[in-house]
Every structure is written in structure tokens, then in C-alpha cells.
């Protein structure tokens, strides 16, 4: 069976953030993801679409899901992969970020998947290479492919995000996932409530189209979806909550609190979870949890992103996807 979809020439060379993307663009990626999800269900989930292309993962920060799913997506599209890890590289010998990027580019990489603890690094990298760049998480700024896979997962469950009430709970201040998701969820028509102690909310939220609550129990019963975030301790300079125990008591989703969540509500988490803090083990496996669907969909979504960035745009038919 051939998949017949035309990619309009409206996509940029890079995917640096959800900011600046139109609803139409977001919807097109989600639609394309559906086609790639179908490939994932085949006995041999591999197509020759990106044969001869090279995908380099360039991670200056730890990752399990994002890196593995990008690499698996690249392999399913028959692309070659290059893997760079900051810890075992010549960075430790004083090589600069720019030199590192130039070396990786000169090995023929067509796309660099970049994760870095400094906001704006993927954008800088895009100025130093001919390759496409995908932001796989930059500091507290954005994590666009996580937001896209979350939208896809919600849409898969409910058909549409229009009118959905989504609560994002936890360390919003330091979360690139929250920022990308606020932009993506609201652009697709959802109503977003940020739920956190005041110390874990960003200072500048005036332009964010969201409601805010400092009391999880006040709003939990209104949610169609509850998106929990990890406490990003690695980005916090000082203790912003009295203790993790206190935080878990007021903002953690445990079995007792989950009784107040509607029976048809959905529970999401980008991973990695800190069980016993923002979520308990039993809630992770609650029948309302779609955390594992998020992981599975991450591969199909990233196949769609790689395909869109690397296949020639004009009148691209997915002939190779058979």
C-alpha cells in the first residue's frame, strides 16, 4: 500500500520550537504521523524513504526517550545515524561547540538533533551548518517534538484537542516541555491551566494564554487531561519548595488524589518520572494513564519530522513509503 500525501512547501529548514508555527503546520505534522504510525505496526517496520541520508544526534545533556526515539525513527526510514555524546568527545579536550558542530557536519550529516542545557543553542548551531537542525530540548526554552508527540497522543485518544481542558502540573518554571506544550495545546484549541506553587511558575507569563492555580485540589475535577512534570532539580539554583515530601503532598498525583480526577480523564508525563514525587507508581499504571502511548508515539512523530525536513518539498509523494 502506498501512502499518498503531499508536503506543502511551508515548512522551514529547521524545527527549533513550536513558537512561530501555525495551527495548520501542527495539524499537518499530526496527520503525517498517522501514516508513519501505520508503518510501525508492520512486521518489518522499515521503509526506504531516507536512504542515503544521515541523521546525527548531538546531545550535550542526558536523554533516554528523545535520543532513542530519534535514532529508531531514523533507522525505520533507512537513514544512516551518527551519535555524538558530550561526555566521551573532544569537548573534554577544550574543543568548542562550533568546532564540534562543524566536524559532525563534515561527516555528511543532513540533520542534527541537538539537545543542550543552554536555551538558544540549537538556533546558534543552525547558523554554523548547512544541515537541518531539530531542537531536542534547550535549557528551559523549548522541546518541540515532545509537545508534538503529546498533541498526537491526546488527539489519538479524543479525536481533537479543541475545547479540551488540560492541566499542566509541577515545575513549569524550569520546563521546556511546559513551554512548548502551552503553545501547542492552545494553538490546537485546548484550554490550559498551569498548576504549581508560585515559586515554580515563570516570572513572565502575561502573554501566555493560560489560567493559573496554586491549589491542585481546586481544579483537578475539571480536567480532561492532567500532564505531570518532573521537578527539574538540575536547573534550580535554590530550594523552591519546602521539601519534596511537602510538594508531593500538595501537587503529586497519588492514588488518593486521582479519585478526584474524572473517570474519563487522561494522565500524561514526558518522562523520566520521579515516582513518589509528582506521580506514584500505581498512578503511572492507572487505566487513565497514556504515558506509554506517549513513548510509542514518539517514534512515529519523529519519523514524520525527519521525513518532512529531509525529503524534497515540492510535490513530494511518499512513493518511497510502501
CB of 37 to ligand NCD, least distance (A): 19
- Alpha carbons 234 and 322: distance in angstroms, whole number: 44
Q: Does 53 bind ligand NCD (CB under 6 A)?
A: no
Q: Which residues contact 302 (CB under 8 A, 6 or more apart)?
A: 69, 70, 73, 145, 149
Residue with Cβ nearer ligand NCD (55 or 172): 172
Q: Smallest Cα–Cα separation from 83: which of 95, 96, 74? A: 74
CB of 144 to ligand NCD, least distance (A): 11
DSSP state of 238: S
Residue with Cβ nearer ligand NCD (161 or 228): 228
Residue with Cβ nearer ligand NCD (49 or 185): 185
Which 235-294 positions form the footprint of ligand NCD (CB under 6 A)?
Answer: 270-271
Q: Does 143 bind ligand NCD (CB under 6 A)?
A: yes
- Of the residues 53, 116, 173, 230, which one makes contact with ligand NCD according to CB under 6 A: 230
Beta strand 225-228 with 165-169: parallel, antiparallel or unpaired? parallel
CB of 270 to ligand NCD, least distance (A): 4
- Of the residues 137, 167, 197, 252, which one makes contact with ligand NCD according to CB under 6 A: 137
- Of the residues 25, 38, 45, 65, which one makes contact with ligand NCD according to CB under 6 A: 65
Q: Smallest Cα–Cα separation from 57: which of 14, 105, 112? A: 112
Which 66-105 positions form the footprint of ligand NCD (CB under 6 A)?
Answer: 66
CB of 196 to ligand NCD, least distance (A): 14
CB of 16 to ligand NCD, least distance (A): 15
CB of 47 to ligand NCD, least distance (A): 25
Q: Directed axis angle between helix 144-158 and helix 65-76, to 10°?
A: 80
Which 159-188 positions form the footprint of ligand NCD (CB under 6 A)?
Answer: 176-177
CB of 176 to ligand NCD, least distance (A): 5
Q: What sign does the dihedral 129-134-139-142 (CA atoms) show?
A: positive
Q: Does 122 bind ligand NCD (CB under 6 A)?
A: no
Q: Which residues contact 149 (CB under 8 A, 6 or more apart)?
A: 33, 294, 297, 298, 301, 302
Total residues binding ligand NCD (CB under 6 A): 11
**Beta-ladder partners of 166:** 192, 225
Alpha helices in the chain (DSSP H): 23-40, 65-76, 97-106, 121-126, 144-158, 176-187, 216-219, 244-251, 255-258, 281-284, 291-310
User: Footprint of ligand NCD on this chain (CB under 6 A)?
Assistant: 65-66, 137, 143, 146, 176-177, 230, 232, 270-271
Amino acid at each position: 500500500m502506498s501512502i499518498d500525501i503531499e508536503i506543502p512547501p511551508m515548512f522551514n529548514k529547521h524545527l527549533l520550537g513550536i513558537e512561530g508555527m501555525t495551527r495548520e503546520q501542527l495539524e499537518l505534522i499530526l496527520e503525517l504521523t498517522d501514516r508513519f504510525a501505520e508503518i510501525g505496526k508492520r512486521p518489518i517496520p522499515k521503509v526506504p524513504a531516507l536512504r542515503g541520508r544521515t541523521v546525527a544526534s548531538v546531545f550535550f545533556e542526558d536523554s533516554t526517550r528523545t535520543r532513542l526515539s530519534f535514532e529508531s525513527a531514523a533507522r525505520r526510514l533507512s537513514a544512516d545515524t551518527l551519535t555524538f555524546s558530550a561526555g566521551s568527545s573532544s569537548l573534554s579536550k577544550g574543543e568548542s561547540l562550533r568546532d564540534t558542530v562543524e566536524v559532525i557536519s563534515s561527516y555528511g550529516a543532513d540533520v542534527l538533533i541537538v539537545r543542550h542545557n543552554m536555551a538558544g543553542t540549537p538556533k546558534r548551531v543552525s547558523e554554523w551548518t548547512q544541515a537541518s537542525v531539530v531542537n531536542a530540548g534547550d535549557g528551559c526554552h523549548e522541546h518541540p517534538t515532545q509537545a508534538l508527540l503529546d498533541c498526537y497522543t491526546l488527539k489519538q485518544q479524543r479525536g481533537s484537542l479543541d475545547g479540551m481542558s488540560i492541566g499542566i502540573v509541577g515545575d513549569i518554571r524550569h520546563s521546556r516541555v511546559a513551554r512548548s506544550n502551552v503553545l501547542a495545546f492552545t494553538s490546537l484549541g485546548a484550554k490550559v491551566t498551569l498548576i504549581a506553587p508560585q515559586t515554580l511558575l515563570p516570572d513572565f507569563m502575561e502573554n501566555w494564554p493560560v489560567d493559573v492555580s496554586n491549589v491542585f485540589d481546586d481544579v483537578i475535577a475539571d480536567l480532561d487531561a492532567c500532564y505531570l512534570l518532573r521537578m527539574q532539580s538540575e536547573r534550580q539554583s535554590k530550594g523552591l519548595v519546602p521539601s519534596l515530601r511537602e510538594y508531593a503532598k500538595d501537587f503529586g498525583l497519588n492514588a488518593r488524589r486521582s479519585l478526584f480526577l474524572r473517570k474519563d480523564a487522561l494522565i500524561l508525563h514526558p518522562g523520566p518520572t520521579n515516582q513518589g514525587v509528582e506521580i506514584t507508581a500505581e498512578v503511572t499504571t492507572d487505566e487513565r494513564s497514556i504515558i506509554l502511548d506517549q513513548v510509542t508515539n514518539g517514534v512515529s512523530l519523529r519519523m514524520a519530522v525527519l521525513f518532512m525536513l529531509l525529503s524534497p518539498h515540492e510535490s513530494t509523494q511518499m512513493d518511497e513509503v510502501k
